[in-house]
Amino acid sequence: MSLDWIYFAISWILLTWHSAWDAIGVPVGEVIGTNWAWILAIVFLVVTVRVILFPVFVKQIKSQRAMQALQPKVKELQEKHKGDRETLQKEMMELYRKEKANPLMGCLPMFLQIPVFLGLFHVLRRLNPDKSEAGKTLYGWTVGQFDSASSATIFTAPIAGKFGSTAEELSRLGANGTTVKVIAGILVLVMMGTTYLTSRQMILKTGWAEDPQQRMIQRLMLYGIPLSLLISGAIFPIGVIIYWVTNNLFTLAQQQWVLRKFPPLVTNTKPGATAARNPVQPAKTGGFLNRKKPAAQAPAKPAAPKVAGPKPGAKPTNPKKGSRPAKRQG
């Protein structure tokens, strides 16, 4: 299946934002070794995509809440079918189907962004001043726009360059190999760090899943993907890394807002030392670690009631006084 429609869509959004910043007055030339109009075009490509995917992100959060609500039932199934993995998986899938919960919904926003990432990767990888006019005008570009993007830099490193660029590629871009490696290397580390933080933020807020399959996915998201970027980041153009880092920062802010609006239904942490060190933050109504909740439930009155004393200024009464006249009559 041809992906040309993705390349056209990404090019249109990128060029539209670049034209918008150019019209506003953002310098076309380099300022501090950076062509800010193109950098801002990439940043706002992220904003455009994330605004479009925001409803999907909200569905992701709601699906995760539904999965959390099912954790007690999942635990019961694990105890009931302990040692019978095949039956356990069938029962769990039936439970998810009955309750309309989708374990894969948590990864849906990321999967939907893969075509955007691949489209930008393809578009930026093509930036080469030596291309023919027909190659430059592909996907709706003009020759002037293509040449401008080909020479666009961030701190003197071209956005089409990458950590693993060959000497020939660097020569075509007119770039310094050391500068490209330093800028690309720093951005790759930032990309890894922000990718880890986005996964960690979600897990700390929602807790570790009881389902082993779900927990494996959480571990993959938390550790596997950031580590894989150490290798794959070497083939990403700098412009693509800028997109990824911006996307991660947007995710951190968006998750913080959504998690405040839709607080976790349950508190569930990873067993062991990690749980004690990184407790899940509950909803605000219960206080931090629910410390305020016991105080609110404490009885206001003492447990042992005391005999009420006479009011100040009142004449003392003797409970036996009423029985004495009876003895005198006898």
Cα torsion 5, 9, 10, 16: sign: positive
Residue 266 lies in a domain: no
Contacts of 90 (CB under 8 A, 6+ apart): none
Count of domains for the chain: 1
Is 296 within the bounds of a domain? no
Q: In this predicted structure, what is the pLDDT of residue 12?
A: 96
pTM of the model: 0.72
In this prediction, residue 153 carries a pLDDT of: 94
Residue 308 lies in a domain: no
pLDDT value, residue 87: 86
The residues of the chain scoring below 50 in pLDDT are 266-296, 321-323, 327, 329-330
pLDDT for 294 equals: 47
pLDDT of the residue at 315: 55
pLDDT tens, residue by residue, 71-106:
788 888 888 888 788 888 888 888 888 877 777 776
Residue 300 counted as domain residue: no
| 248 three-state secondary structure | helix
In a domain, 218, yes or no: yes
HEC letters along 5-53: HHHHHHHHHHHHHHHHHHHHCCCCCCECCECHHHHHHHHHHHHHHHHHH
User: Could you tell me the residue range of the domain that residue 8 belongs to?
Assistant: 3-261
pLDDT at 72: 83
In a domain, 317, yes or no: no
> Whole-angstrom Cα distance, residue 64 to residue 53?
17
Q: What pLDDT sits at residue 88?
A: 84
Residues in the chain, total: 330
pLDDT of residue 268: 46
